[in-house]
Structure 1
Amino acid sequence: MRLDGENSGEEQEEQVNSVAYSICGDGFPHPQELVVGYALTSKKKKSFLQPQLIGLARNRGIFFVAIDLNRPLAEQGPFDVILHKLSGKDWCEIIEDYGQKHPEVTILDPPDAIELLHNRQSMLQDVVALNLSDCHGKVGVPQQLVVTKDPSSVPYEVAKSGLKLPVVAKPLVVDGSAKSHELFLAYDEFSLSELEPPLVLQEFVNHGGLLFKIFIVGEAIKVVRRFSLPNVSKRDLSKVAGVFRFPRVSCAAASADDADLDPSTAELPPRSLLERLARELRHRLGLRLFNIDMIRQHGTKDVFYVIDINYFPGYGKVPGYEHIFTDFLLSLVQSKYKKRPVA
């Protein structure tokens, strides 16, 4: 059966039978030898399974094995971990069924949990419910409006909601396509009728043209800076009208970490705040591999907004990601063995 997002397993770089297990006294494979079955799109495979990750993983006893989507999953393996990022109802049913029949295998991550991040209306609900505010700062979500009706109704809906201009317009559904990541900045509500619902309209918050991408890998947190949209002034609003399309800012390759930036803008969010946010979202979302796009409100030190959450993001662009990820994979199997009762 052919599934969305990937070809067959002809391009496997490692075969299951190439892995030599050392059996411990309890009859289980030694935890330092870990087989990770992966089902990734071609694009994700290229960006994530880079030579430095594969080499380091092999040196640490971790073997990545391509899952053949043209064969029943139950006939493949054995796997310790399954790493996946594919779309489609068929794949979700396969991985859910496999997880139920093989509870000893760690699935990264459950399809039903991932599904929450495929909708921009639901992805930020847990941040709103968290209402995170303490001595280290405050984390919220920009005011949002979901538009699913005819485009001509958009100006009325915006005026009715009290949403302030400008607004960022994003497709409601996140399906991995280029279209689902299109980004528009609208300076007047009437121009919004040019866009095609379903949309999420998000109030634009001035943030000094800088975005913080917070990468979560299990309990590990890595923050990188990315350039973002510049501030918009009242003078700009009086002179500019219309809707303007922007590239996918949040995944731009250009890092802002080494740029000469205003210290008040570039200062990373407090570590303790990020740790609490990550811990709460891991629990609420039921995910271990995701990233949070966060901005700091311009002119403040401790007011932050989460504008997007993405599943299995571009880890390959994170410095040292191969060490972070291999540590994470080994921690999974080590915790599994610690939980096993002694015979």
Structure 2
Amino acid sequence: MNLDAFAKLCADHGVQVVEIDLTQSLAPQGPFDVIVHKLSDVIVEAEHDNQSQQLLANFQSYVSAHPSTVIVDPLPAMTQLLDRFASYRLMSKLHNSLRDWRICSPPYLEIHSDTDLPSIQEAVRNQDLSFPLICKTRVAHGSLSHEMSLIFSVGNLADIHPPCVLQSFVNHGAILHKVFVIGDKHFCVERPSLKNFPSGPCDRKTIFFNSHQVSKPESSSDLTALDEKMPCLPPPSSEAIAALVRELRLQLGMALFGVDVIINIRTHTLTVIDINIFPGYEGVPQFFSSLLSHIQSVLNKPSSTDLQDTDSLTTGGPSTTTTNL
């Protein structure tokens, strides 16, 4: 993001923006009223990298010593979205809480380790997954998280690399709806997506692809070109999207995230296929002003301890604060 442009917008509203250097002690760089961050890379790398562990420790040390500083978003909330096992369990619960809106998520299976192929095949049958299957890495952040595959038969389950998630592929007319959430505001942007495939197992070889390349705004790929004439699908209901966002904000306790949804071409059901940490917000022209509005609302909230209930926030007048992006 263009940090200079955002800093100028904030300065015009009495908000001072400072870029934090995590390699140094945070205390002399502060004090901070609000810290906006995307530490997902650091959290993932801290599992195996000593330098990243130290950066994270510096951050957590400051947060512990300054409980009044508002963190957007809390690290525990972000951490659960870095693990597709955790986020998909959350998605599966949407069936009950959002049943009236006809919102669901596809059946899925967690593959924890390199077990024998017959055991994986049996688990797929027991979970009522349907071919083709889409395979995704367990870690939901970083370049490798975009490397996915489409599996068309039981035999081709040998192509997976655990730990990973297997998810029934839902035909959706090659259209992905990316929902970008910024506090109590959300925006829906249409992107290209995977084309339709015949349902059921077949002898087609596994297709390996990068989802980042397939669903970019300017993407052009054989994988997104429909083989047949598709009747226009209805756009997602704005009321259903709003209900979905409210429920996820309640469950996640987060203000900055994205949701990938598709429309099932057969049932027209709104189907949630992924949740993303602090997405790129490409195609959202109001991002800077919406982010500033959320920061102001957090600062003007009587009690900043309940970060989950940001629907009731109101934007007040200019405040003097320091925040990091």
TM normalised by structure 1 equals 0.74
* Counterpart amino acid of residue 112 in structure 2: T
Ranges in structure 2 where 5+ consecutive residues have no aligned partner: 47-52, 221-228, 304-312, 315-325
1:232/1:251 Cα in 2 relative to 1: closer, same or farther (>3 Å)?
closer
**TM alignment of 1:31-70, pairs within 5 A:** 48-70=1-23
Aligned equivalent of 1:298: 265
State whether residues 213 and 291 of structure 1, in contact with CA within 8 Å, keep that contact through their aligned partners in structure 2.
yes
- C-alpha separation between the residues in 2 aligned to 1:124 and 1:156? 21
Counterpart secondary structure, 2:243:
helix
Superimposed CA distance per residue, residues 187-242 of structure 1 (whole angstroms, 9 cap, x where no aligned partner): 112222123111100000111111111111111111101110011125x954x512
State the partner residue of 2:238. 271
1:115 aligns to what SS in structure 2?
helix
Q: Tell me if the contact between 2:98 and 2:243 (Cα under 8 Å) persists in the aligned partners.
A: no
Distance 1:51 1:99 in 2: 25
State the structure with more CA Rg: 1
Work out the CA distance in 2 between the residues paired with 1:120 and 1:278. 19
2:215 aligned with 1:247: no
Deviates more, 1:313-322 or 1:286-295: 313-322
| Cross-structure match for 2:162 | 197
Mean Cα displacement is larger for which, 53-62 or 190-199?
53-62
Residues 182 and 294, structure 2, Cα contact 8 Å, conserved in 1: yes
Return the alpha-carbon distance in structure 1 between the equivalents of residues 294 and 230 of structure 2.
Answer: 34
Q: How far off is 1:252 after superposition?
A: 1.1
2 CA distance for matches of 1:111 and 1:203? 30
Shift of 1:117: 0.5
Q: How far, CA to CA, are the matches of 2:149 and 2:56 in structure 1?
A: 31
What is the CA RMSD across the aligned residues, in angstroms?
Answer: 2.7
| Alpha-carbon offset, residue 59 of structure 1 | 2.0
Is residue 22–residue 59 contact of structure 2 (8 Å, CA) maintained in 1?
A: no
CA distance in 2, matches of 1:112, 1:211: 28
Higher relative contact order (CA 8 A, sep 6+): 2
Q: Following TM superposition, by how much is the alpha carbon of 1:335 offset from its aligned partner in structure 2, in angstroms? A: 2.0
Residue aligned with 2:301, SS: helix
Aligned counterparts of 2:34 and 2:144: Cα–Cα separation in 1: 31
Shift, 1:336, TM fit = 4.6
SS of residue in 1 equivalent to 2:87: coil
- Paired amino acid for 1:319: P
Match of 2:198 in 1: 233
In the TM superposition, residue 316 of structure 1 has moved relative to its aligned partner by 4.4
Extract unaligned runs of 5+ from structure 1. Answer: 1-47
Q: After superposition, where does 1:81-100 map in structure 2 within 5 Å? A: 81-86=34-39, 87-88=42-43, 89=46, 90=53, 91-100=55-64
Cross-structure match for 1:288: 255
Corresponding residue for residue 177 of structure 1: 142
For 1:139, the equivalent position in structure 2 comes to 103
1:322 paired residue number: 288
Distance change (3 Å), C-alpha of 1:78 and 1:316: farther
**Alpha-carbon shift at residue 160 of structure 1 (Å):** 4.1
SS in 2 for 1:335: coil
Contact 2:98 2:244 in 1 (8 A): no
Q: Secondary structure at the match of 2:293?
A: helix
- Are the aligned partners of 2:121 and 2:157 in contact in 1 as well (CA < 8 Å)? yes
* TM-score between both structures, scaled by the size of structure 2: 0.78
